[in-house]
Chains A and B, each alone.
Chain A
Amino acid sequence: QVHLEQSGAEVKKPGASVSVSCKASGYTFTGHYIHWFRQAPGQGPEWMGWINPNRGATRYAEKFQGRVTMTTDTSITTAYMELSSLGSDDTAVYYCARSQGISLTDYWGQGTLVTVSA
């Protein structure tokens, strides 16, 4: 069955970068886009962007342009999201999700808590 396993919680200082991984299994990795979202406490999920593992094409939300990089390693069916220049407002749970077509996400990872604190 489809499963997305994310890396563990991270604590970072302001100004640092964080990388979150998302290991996919149970389906053809190159056949589905991977999206990244984040969710701050009390808020709805926020879309950050997607990557097409087949060709590596990406689309980022304007809010994160210049600060986020999404990559994949198809040999190990893993997607990565790196966010730089962290601030306290980047504290959130970060999720990866598989999509049907370009934008409908049907399976999500378990989430990775990223805490930014001095």
Chain B
Amino acid sequence: EIVLTQSPGTLSLSPGDRATLSCRASQSVISSTYVAWYQHKPGQSPRLLIYGATARATGVPDRFSGSGSGTDFTLTISRLEPEDFAVYYCQQYGTSPYNFGRGTKLEIK
């Protein structure tokens, strides 16, 4: 099965900063791009942000962008807004089991 490793575990930044979150797969993801990113806030359900490694889900602001292929993927938030502080998970959905990483907590510095 494919194991996803996210880094860093915690990222401390200020509103207006640029955030770069990494996700590395233990083997190449099918079609190189079956990777999604989710935002998860306490008490809420996970929200799909990015799919196909680079496509934004409906309603997701364009400050969120995804890149990468093969085994290395990145979520970038260009200018952090106060509502962006949350936990972010990557997931590969190309090969069962559809594993998630352990998440990156984005906290206010």
> Residues of A with Cβ closer than 8 Å to B?
35, 43-47, 59, 61-63, 95, 103-111
CA distance A68 to B102 in the complex (A): 23
Identify 18 residue pairs between A and B in the complex whose beta-carbon atoms are under 8 Å apart, listed by A's number: A43-B102, A44-B101, A44-B102, A45-B91, A46-B99, A47-B99, A59-B96, A103-B93, A103-B96, A104-B36, A104-B48, A104-B93, A105-B48, A105-B93, A106-B57, A108-B45, A110-B45, A111-B45
Q: Smallest CB–CB gap between B23 and chain A, Å?
A: 11
CA distance A95 to B51 in the complex (A): 19
CA distance A104 to B99 in the complex (A): 12
- CB distance B51 to A44 under 8 Å? no
Determine the interface band of chain B, counting residues with CB < 8 A from chain A. Answer: 20 to 34
- CB distance A61 to B97 under 8 Å? yes
Given A104-B51, A106-B57, A108-B45: A45 and B89 interface contact (C-beta under 8 Å): yes
- CB distance B46 to A108 under 8 Å? yes
- CB distance A47 to B102 under 8 Å? no
Q: Smallest CB–CB gap between A38 and chain B, Å?
A: 11
CA distance A43 to B97 in the complex (A): 16
CA distance A109 to B75 in the complex (A): 24
Of chain A, the residue at the smallest CB distance from B87 is A44
- CB distance B102 to A103 under 8 Å? no
Q: Smallest CB–CB gap between B97 and chain A, Å?
A: 5
CA distance A106 to B102 in the complex (A): 19
Contacting residues, chain B, for A104 (C-beta < 8 A): 34, 36, 48, 51, 93
- CB distance B96 to A44 under 8 Å? no
CA distance A46 to B97 in the complex (A): 9
Contacting residues, chain A, for B51 (C-beta < 8 A): 104, 106
Contacting residues, chain B, for A59 (C-beta < 8 A): 96
- CB distance A95 to B45 under 8 Å? yes
Among residues 87 to 109 in chain B, which have CB atoms less than 8 Å away from a CB atom of chain A? 89, 91, 93-94, 96-103
